[in-house]
Amino acid sequence: MRFVFEPFILNKNDRIFKKLYYGPSEVVKMIDLDGIKVILSKYKNWYTAMNVEKRWLLWYPSTFQAGLEIRSGEQVSFAWDTSNYGKRGTLYKLFGYVSDPHIVKMSLELVKNSNPERKEEAIGEDRMFIFYWLAQDKEYGITYLKGFDSNGNLIFQQ
DSSP 62: S
Closest-CA residue to 95 (of 132, 43, 51): 132
Could you tell me if residue 134 is inside a domain?
yes
Rounded to two decimals, what is the model's pTM?
0.82
Residue 133 clears pLDDT 70, i.e. is over it: yes
If one counts the domains in the chain, the total is 1
Question: Does residue 117 fall inside a structural domain?
Answer: yes
Q: For residue 2, is it within any domain?
A: no
Beta pairing partners, 146: 107, 157
- Asked, for residue 65, whether it belongs to a domain, the answer is yes
pLDDT band, very low/low/confident/very high, at 88 (cuts 50, 70, 90): confident
- CA distance linking residue 47 with residue 50, whole number of Å: 10
- The verdict on residue 1 lying in a domain is no
The domain containing residue 20 runs over which residues? 7-157
Q: What percent of the chain has pLDDT over 70?
A: 84
Mean pLDDT over each residue of the chain, to the nearest integer = 84
**Phi, psi dihedrals of residue 23, rounded to the nearest 5°:** 95, 165
Q: CA-to-CA distance for 73 and 96, rounded, in angstroms?
A: 14
- In this predicted structure, what is the pLDDT of residue 2? 44
Distance separating alpha carbons of residues 59 and 11, to the nearest angstrom:
10
Q: How far apart are CA 149 and CA 124, in angstroms?
A: 13
